[in-house]
Structure 1
């Protein structure tokens, strides 16, 4: 659903049926599966396509976002992405909620 691909079509793709897949669909599937650059390139090669330029990779939080969260102190604050992974956590949130450096979701 996140990739915008129907269940039956995704099943065909997963089973390797002879179907034509576009670069945009493969890119969406790779992004949804959170493939890294090497994994996405492998997916494209399996489909007989040229790997797409890397997009949608997880980036570190911007300095502005960190500054905003720090400005909320002493109130706990954090930002999550659409998958409920922590993008940024301020120090009060770490103390109050017990978040560690490696918590994901």
Structure 2
């Protein structure tokens, strides 16, 4: 269950970053802030649950890796963030690192 909690925590990381982006609009500021607060709270709680069984270094790296790669994907797909071979390579390296940490656990 710990790895399930950790993956959910990483997905919630994407949610709070998305909430911050949504809060940039004057009409969606309150919605975005509430969304960010709810997701960061959920993310932190799920990370806490995961760390009962997964070492802190591994859990933190996986948590931030999922959040970073996911936020990159959301930015590109929904907000027109720029892309380049280097940016895709960087995200690929994050994903490879997360998978390596999981397999090495």
Output the TM-score relative to the length of structure 2: 0.26
What TM-score do you get using the length of structure 1 for normalisation?
0.26
The structure whose RCO (Cα within 8 Å, separation 6+) is larger is: 2
Q: Give the strand-richer structure, 1 or 2.
A: 1
Q: Tell me which structure has the larger Cα radius of gyration.
A: 1
